[in-house]
């Protein structure tokens, strides 16, 4: 008597289970596809940022933790690098490296439109140069326009003296990644009043600049510089007096490190007896 309702109930329960299972399977598939896409994007972005791989035409596909790499490179070391980068991405357990090594392969030459990696590099250089100018006690970076393309920096704006113009050029030229500097800064003594007011404000602010701020900016300036091994130099500051210690490769590198430290706003003097070569 209750057989038909029971049969209907079981049929409904079975249909619900199948539907629920299908939804779960669909959700799991969608989740895996999202993971695959994220991993592909992470690998490709790393290739695009890597100076040894960005110019090569490399392609990446990921399926369930397996990355397949295709394209052309000129040397075995680049093929191996591409594989190691892919394996370094979380969740990638296997790499099918189908990249072809062709000693005659010529990466595409830079065109009018910069690659993603070149754009990031240029933006980083611009930021570093601007930062060094803003931290400088002798250059008014806030009125200096900095533009970078393929590592070539162009400086535009006005400065009070030829000395400031030369200093800005040296700071830019010693920045990591810079290929050349086109210093178009104009010496305009007529703006001396405005610039002197800004410098007086900076000097007044310098009286309350903390030692920790100075230490951080000196370290950053050294790290940004292409001709100084910033990581090998220890920096400490006490009441505006900066102490440099460590070992550098030459007397010119030591002199440059001292000059860069002296140029940072708030620095009263630099002690370098423990900076040797």
Instruction: Check which CATH number belongs to the domain holding 250 and give it.
Output: 3.30.1340
- What's the order of all strands across the beta sheet hosting 269-276? 233-238, 241-247, 269-276
The verdict on 61 and 121 lying in the same domain is no
pLDDT of residue 10: 58
pLDDT of residue 18: 59
Can you give the residue range of the structural domain that contains 259?
A: 209-276
pLDDT of residue 14: 57
Phi and psi of 121, rounded to 5°? -60, -45
Tens digit of each residue's pLDDT (9 = 90 or more) over 147-171: 999 999 999 988 888 888 998 999 9
Closest CA to 87 of 124, 46, 122, 143: 46
Residue 109 lies in a domain: no
Counting the structural domains of the chain, the total is 3
Closest CA to 218 of 167, 149, 272, 264: 264
pLDDT of residue 191: 57
Q: In the chain, which stretches have pLDDT less than 70?
A: 1-28, 108-112, 139-142, 190-208
**How many Cβ atoms are within 10 Å of 58's Cβ, its own excluded?**
21
Helix ranges (DSSP H) in the chain: 3-49, 76-87, 116-135, 162-173, 192-206, 211-224, 251-262
pTM to 2 decimal places: 0.66
pLDDT of residue 142: 47
Residue 7 lies in a domain: no
The verdict on 56 and 25 lying in the same domain is yes
């Amino acid at each position: 008597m209750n057989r038909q309702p029971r049969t209907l109930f079981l049929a409904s329960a079975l249909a619900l289970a199948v539907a629920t299972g299908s939804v779960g399977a669909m959700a799991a598939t969608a989740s895996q596809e999202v993971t695959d896409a994220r991993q592909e994007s992470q690998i490709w972005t790393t290739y695009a940022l890597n100076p040894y791989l960005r110019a090569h035409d490399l392609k990446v596909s990921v399926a369930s933790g397996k990355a397949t790499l295709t394209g052309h490179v000129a040397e075995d070391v680049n093929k191996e690098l591409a594989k190691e980068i892919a394996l370094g991405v979380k969740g990638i357990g296997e790499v099918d490296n189908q990249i072809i090594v062709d000693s005659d392969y010529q990466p595409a030459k830079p065109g009018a439109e910069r690659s993603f990696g070149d754009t990031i590099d240029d933006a980083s250089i611009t930021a570093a140069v601007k930062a060094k100018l803003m931290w400088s006690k002798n250059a008014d970076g806030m009125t200096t326009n900095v533009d970078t393309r393929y590592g070539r920096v162009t400086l535009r704006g006005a400065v009070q003296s030829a000395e400031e113009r030369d200093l800005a050029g040296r700071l830019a030229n010693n920045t990591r990644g810079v290929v050349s500097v086109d210093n178009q800064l104009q010496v305009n003594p007529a703006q001396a009043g405005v610039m002197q007011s800004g410098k007086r404000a900076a000097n007044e602010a310098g009286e309350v600049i903390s030692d920790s701020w100075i230490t951080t900016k000196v370290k950053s300036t050294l790290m940004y510089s292409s001709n100084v091994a910033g990581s090998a130099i220890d920096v400490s500051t006490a009441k505006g007096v900066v102490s440099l210690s460590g070992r550098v490769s030459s007397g010119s590198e030591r002199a440059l490190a001292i000059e860069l430290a002296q140029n940072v706003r708030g620095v009263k003097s630099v002690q370098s007896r423990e900076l040797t070569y």
